[in-house]
């Protein structure tokens, strides 16, 4: 089994922590994985779609932090919807590890490798679904 980890590096420190969690869970389960970095979360569905035939599953990692404009809602809603649509369309699991946070402190806490890393959880979800197939 082979998984592609697609990570948005807009918040580099956050995404690196999410990658550590995902990669660790892949190693524990003897899953081959590759990583592709993209500029932001909005670009993740494109890369997953482009690589749909090359992998058994995908892990989407990123972080969107609320600002002063409506941009947060647009990005969060559209990316999550497209990732769900892609998963159904290509019939492959996509672990959702895109943090949608009110502030940087929330993002740091949710990406911390020592306490509830959401990258680890996204990898677990993807691998659990792969094992169901």
pLDDT digits (tens, 9 = 90+) for 62-100: 999 998 888 889 999 999 999 999 999 999 999 999 999
Asked if residue 60 lies in contact with residue 84, where contact means CB atoms within 8 angstroms, the answer is no
Identified catalytic residue from 71, 73, 74, 133: 71
Residues 6+ apart with CB under 8 A from 101: 63, 64, 65, 66, 107, 110
pLDDT of residue 133: 63
pLDDT digits (tens, 9 = 90+) for 6-22: 999 999 999 999 999 99
71 an active-site residue? Answer: yes
CA nearest to 85, candidates 40, 52, 39, 118: 52
116, pLDDT greater than 70? yes
Distance in angstroms (rounded) separating the CA atoms of residues 58 and 61: 10
Average the pLDDT over 120-124 and give the result. Answer: 96
pLDDT digits (tens, 9 = 90+) for 24-69: 999 999 999 999 999 999 999 999 999 999 999 999 999 999 988 8
């Amino acid at each position: 089994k082979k998984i592609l980890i697609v990570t948005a590096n807009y918040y580099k420190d956050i995404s690196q922590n999410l990658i550590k969690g995902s990669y660790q869970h892949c190693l524990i389960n003897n899953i081959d994985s590759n990583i592709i970095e993209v500029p932001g979360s909005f670009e993740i569905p494109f890369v997953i779609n482009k690589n749909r035939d090359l992998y058994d599953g995908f892990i989407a990692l990123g972080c969107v932090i609320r600002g002063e404009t409506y941009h947060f809602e647009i990005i969060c809603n559209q990316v999550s919807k497209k990732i769900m649509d892609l998963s159904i369309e290509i019939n492959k699991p996509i672990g959702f590890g895109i943090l949608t946070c009110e502030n940087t402190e929330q993002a740091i806490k949710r990406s911390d490798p020592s306490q509830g890393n959401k990258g680890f959880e996204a990898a677990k979800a993807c691998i659990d679904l792969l094992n169901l197939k």
